[in-house]
Amino acid sequence: MDFDRIGKWLGLGANLGVLLGLALLIVELSENRYLMKAQIRHQLATGIVDILQAPANNPQLAEALYRAHAGEALSPAEAYQVQLRTNALFRYWEDVHYQYRAGLYDDAEFSRQREAWKASFAASKYQAGYWCRVRGSYSPEFAAEIDGLIENGC
């Protein structure tokens, strides 16, 4: 009889150990999710800093971007340069949009991003027209998001 009681206590202890292990695993997964979110945010921040810094470090690109956004004519090389930089910006935005849909951006943060995107389109005579030409190269969800930000649509 005593062996039976000892066996039950040992079984109960083993079950409690398993439950404690599961609880610790859940806590660790939660921490990993938080760290992953922080790492993604850092990578996104680094990405936009690089995109924004490019014209600051390249006066020729800055001039081409300025003229493009003002609606002025560009040489073929300048137009190509502006297109590459604009595609990089749109891809960055698409990544932010994806991260939001994946739950790694909260509503308040994403709302601010959307407002910045909308302001960027409003301040540029170039950007909306270029978006309308390349929108098919982006995910349908992101394209719909951006289409809703452009004042007169495509």
Residues 60-100 have pLDDT tens digits of 999 999 999 999 999 999 999 999 999 999 999 999 999 89
The residues near 71 (Cβ < 8 Å, ≥ 6 apart) are: 125, 126
Report the predicted TM-score, pTM, of the whole model to 2 decimal places: 0.75
What six digits make up the tokens of 29?
A: 């997964």
pLDDT of residue 103: 85
Place of tokens 């301040």: 123
Q: What is the biggest distance separating any 2 CA atoms in the chain, rounded to whole angstroms?
A: 95
**In this model, does residue 5 exceed pLDDT 90?**
no
Smallest CA-to-CA distance from 88 within 127, 145, 56, 33 is with 127
Helix (H, G, I), strand (E, B) or coil at 119: helix
Smallest CA-to-CA distance from 142 within 109, 123, 114, 119 is with 114
pLDDT of residue 1: 60
**DSSP assignment of 45-60:** HHHHHHHHHHHHH-HH
d(C-alpha 60, C-alpha 51), whole Å: 15
pLDDT of residue 25: 79
